[in-house]
Amino acid sequence: KAGVTQTPRYLIKTRGQQVTLSCSPISGHRSVSWYQQTPGQGLQFLFEYFSETQRNKGNFPGRFSGRQFSNSRSEMNVSTLELGDSALYLCASSLVPGVGKNIQYFGAGTRLSVL
Amino acid sequence: SQQGEEDPQALSIQEGENATMNCSYKTSINNLQWYRQNSGRGLVHLILIRSNEREKHSGRLRVTLDTSKKSSSLLITASRAADTASYFCATDKSYGNKLVFGAGTILRVKS
């Protein structure tokens, strides 16, 4: 079974641009979560999607958005990029959300550099 | 912000020795999990312990949970060079998949 696939693996953008990252979950997994990892703030939860609906959202500005498609694939978008958005963005999938069912399987991440 | 602290921040040991990492958290939880990350890549799930469990084993891993102290420890026995990685604890407290991660411990196992 293929794991969680994130594309692209690396991105270089300039301030003010926007970027879209993609995540394909493990086959059969319907929940997708996104995390941002930086040296200063560590791993922080961005949002979670299940059945094309955002179910949880972290404490990030509205420039960060996401969506999920009917095949469970997810995209996240960051608009008006800032230098501080440089980070490793990780996507994780799980079967369904729910207490006790929270083992999440992570992709290799997309490393975004904002110049 | 992160849920809590992990200590030590970094740990360097010889192959064959045991490695112990600690994690503290701030609020009540449903589950606590440990993940491993190699060189800034994705995280690999190691073990999950529920709030009503006190100890769990998986291969060379042993995890304890003390909810009264809001702390957990991860013990890796007979460490190998391949165990060199960053280790994170993560907690969840509500329905859904929002995990709150600790700052992580960087483990280096020297051969």
Q: Could B101 and A105 be called an inter-chain contact, meaning their C-beta atoms sit closer than 8 Å?
A: no
CA angle A105, B91, A38 (to 5 degrees): 70
Q: Could A97 and B101 be called an inter-chain contact, meaning their C-beta atoms sit closer than 8 Å?
A: no
Closest CA to A65 of A51, A79, A53, A55: A79
| Tokens, residue B66 | 């003390």
Q: Could A109 and B42 be called an inter-chain contact, meaning their C-beta atoms sit closer than 8 Å?
A: yes
Can you give the pLDDT at residue B45? 94
Q: pLDDT of B9-54, one tens digit each? A: 999 999 999 999 999 998 888 889 999 999 878 899 999 999 999 9
Q: Which H/E stretch holds residue A37?
A: strand A31-38
Q: How confident is the model at residue A95 (pLDDT cuts 50, 70, 90)?
A: confident
Can you give the pLDDT at residue B29? 86
Three-state DSSP at A47 gives: strand
Can you give the pLDDT at residue B69? 95
Q: Which residue from A4, A37, A56 is facing B96, i.e. has the nearest CB?
A: A56
Cα–Cα distance, B89 to B34 (Å, whole number) = 4
B95 pLDDT more than 70: no
Chain B residues with CB inside 8 Å of A88's CB?
40
